[in-house]
Chain A
Amino acid sequence: MTTTLDNVEAQRTSVQTFDLKLGGVRELNKTLHHATDGDTFAVDHPGGKHSIAVGVNAEVDIEINGHVGYYAAGMNQGGRITINGNAGVGVAENMMSGAVHVTGDASQSAGATAHGGLLVIDGNASARCGISMKGIDIVVGGNIGHMSAFMAQAGRLVVCGDAGEALGDSIYEARLYVKGTAASLGADCIAKEMREEHLAELGELLRAAGRDDDPADFTRYGSARTLYNFHVDNSSAY
Chain B
Amino acid sequence: MTLTAPDQTVAPALPAPALAELGLRESATFDRATIADIQRAAETGIYDIRGWGAKRKVPHFDDLLFLGASMSRYPLEGYREKCGTDIVLGDRYASKPLRLDIPITIAGMSFGALSANAKEALGRGASAVGTSTTTGDGGMTPEERGQSKHLVYQYLPSRYGMNPDDLRKADAIEVVLGQGAKPGGGGMLLGQKITERVAGMRTLPIGIDQRSACRHPDWTGPDDLEIKIAELREITDWEKPIYVKIGASRPYYDTALAVKSGADVVVLDGMQGGTAATQQVFIENVGIPTLAAIPQAVQALQELGMHRKVQLIVSGGIRTGADVAKAMALGADAVAIGTAALIALGDNSPRYAAEYAKLGSAAGYYDDFQDGRDPAGISTQDPELSARLDPVAGGRRIANYLRVLTMEAQTIARACGKAHLHNLEPEDLVALTIESAAMARVPLAGTSWIPGATGAGL
Beyond A153-B203, A238-B370, whether A77 also contacts B164 by CB under 8 A is yes
Q: Known contacts being A237-B2, A238-B190, is A109 close to B218, with CB within 8 Å?
A: yes
A33 at the interface (CB under 8 A from B): yes
Asked whether B343 is an interface residue with its Cβ less than 8 Å from the other chain, the reply is: no
Give the CA-CA distance A154 to B205 in the complex, in Å.
Answer: 10
Q: Are A132 and B158 in contact (CB under 8 A)?
A: yes
- Per a CB cutoff under 8 Å, which of B44, B218, B370 touches A112? B218
Chain B residues near A54: list those with CB within 8 A.
Answer: 231, 234-235
Q: Would you call B231 and A51 a contact (CB within 8 A)?
A: yes
Interface of B is mostly: loop
B213 proximal to A (CB < 8 A) = yes
A221 interface contact, C-beta 8 A: no
Contacts of A33 in B (CB 8 A): 237
Among B43, B49, B213, the one with the most A-chain Cβ atoms within 10 Å of its Cβ is B213
Q: Are A89 and B218 in contact (CB under 8 A)?
A: yes
Min CB–CB distance B153 → chain A (angstroms): 13
List, in ascending order, chain A residues with CB within 8 A of B81's CB: none
Contact among A29, A71, A231 with B45 in the assembled complex (CB-CB below 8 Å): A231
Q: Is A151 an interface position by the 8 A CB rule?
A: yes
Majority-rule SS of A interface residues = loop
> Which chain B residues in 1-48 approach chain A with CB under 8 Å?
2, 4, 40, 43-46, 48
> Which residues in B have their C-beta under 8 angstroms from that of A108?
218
- Determine whether the beta carbon of B219 is less than 8 Å from that of A74: no
Complex partner residue of B209 from A71, A128, A230, CB under 8 angstroms: A230
Kindly provide the distance from the CB of B408 to the nearest chain A CB, expressed in whole angstroms: 37
What is the chain B residue whose CB lies nearest that of A25?
Answer: B234
List, in ascending order, chain A residues with CB within 8 A of B191's CB.
229, 235
What separation, in Å, do the CA atoms of A77 and B236 have in the docked complex?
14
Q: Does A101 count as interface, using CB distance less than 8 angstroms? A: no
Smallest CB-CB separation from B213: which chain A residue? A151
Judging by beta carbons under 8 Å apart, are A55 and B209 in contact? no
Cβ B159 vs Cβ A113 within 8 A: yes
Contact in complex: B218, A113 (CB < 8 Å): yes
From A134, which residue of chain B is reached at the shortest CB distance?
B203
Q: Which residues of B contact A (CB under 8 A)?
A: 2, 4, 40, 43-46, 48-49, 158-159, 162-165, 167, 190-191, 202-205, 207-209, 211, 213, 217-219, 224, 227-228, 230-231, 234-238, 370-371
CB pairs A–B below 8 angstroms (17 shown)? A25-B234, A51-B231, A55-B235, A55-B236, A70-B228, A71-B227, A89-B219, A112-B218, A131-B217, A132-B159, A154-B203, A228-B208, A229-B209, A231-B45, A237-B4, A238-B46, A238-B49
